[in-house]
Amino acid sequence: MNLTGKVALVTGSTSGIGLGIAQALAQAGADVILNGFGDASTALAEVGRHGTRVGHHPADLSSIEQLAELFSYAEREFGGVDILVNNAGIQHVAPVEQFPVERWDAIIALNLSAVFHSTRLALPGMHQRNWGRIINIASVHGQVGSVGKAAYVAAKHGVIGLTKVVGLETATSQITCNAICPGWVMTPLVQKQIDDRIATGVDPQQAQQDLLAEKQPSLAFVTPQHLGELVLFLCSEAGSQVRGAAWNIDGGWLAQ
């Protein structure tokens, strides 16, 4: 796999899954633009050790203006985006009738609308260069529901729908658009859900085992490295006719 000369933008890549994907892309030779909150110095060092160019832009992707600034930065500093990984996402767990309206709006803005905005901003450059990969990190929750996750499940179902449309609209080009649907991956987003169980008095080890046992038949976490390898496959020539797909990588969650 050689992505030398390609520029990848991975949103929400200062931690978790996005960071794992950014590392895989850099290892394959791509220049990488990181995005996300918090101190980016560790992520910059980890991704930069592969010797390709790495930058970071701290745009809050729930803001259309900041999203546009991120793409201006990509154009100005890197010459555009060839591989767009829409990964940034947040979660909030509460029953619908108690779901804070402001959390609903924030989740839809980041987990769904930002995917639309970044896609529409990336496509013209991809068409111009006659090659592109758009990879949306959806979730098993793009295909099934779970209690307490109304906004997240609605947004991820929306991302899979959007992926199908963009996959069709680019079908005769060298641009592909696909979604990846991970099951449980151990990241800060999932740690928070384990912490909520621990707060009810459950032993930490047990809380982790319970979380897996409820949904993921393999009883093992998917890793950011697994997801990085799948992204590389979708960027390869062998992946060039995978279009508009929602690809499960979930320890069997959706087989049930």
Name the residues that contact ligand NAD, by CB under 6 A: 12-18, 35-38, 60-62, 87-90, 110, 137, 139, 182, 184-185, 187-190
Starting at the edge strand found earlier in the chain, the sheet holding 54-57 runs: 54-57, 31-35, 7-10, 83-86, 132-137, 175-182, 246-249
Q: Rank residues 5 and 152 by Cβ distance to ligand NAD and give the closer one.
A: 152
Min dist. Cβ of residue 51 to ligand NAD (A): 23
Min dist. Cβ of residue 227 to ligand NAD (A): 8
Judge whether 152 counts as a catalytic residue.
yes
Yes or no: say if 80 and 131 are a contact pair by the CB < 8 Å rule. no
Q: Rank residues 65 and 97 by Cβ distance to ligand NAD and give the closer one.
A: 65
Distance separating alpha carbons of residues 197 and 207, to the nearest angstrom:
6
Vertex 56 angle, CA 53 and 58, to 5°: 170
SS3 26: helix
Min dist. Cβ of residue 174 to ligand NAD (A): 26
Count CB neighbours of 49 within 10 A.
12
Distance separating alpha carbons of residues 19 and 5, to the nearest angstrom:
20
Min dist. Cβ of residue 138 to ligand NAD (A): 7
Q: Rank residues 175 and 231 by Cβ distance to ligand NAD and give the closer one.
A: 231
Amino acid (one-letter) located at 169 = E
Yes or no: say if 40 and 59 are a contact pair by the CB < 8 Å rule. no
Q: Rank residues 87 and 178 by Cβ distance to ligand NAD and give the closer one.
A: 87
- Of the candidates 152, 184, 221, 253, the residue annotated as catalytic is 152
Q: Residues with catalytic annotation?
A: 152
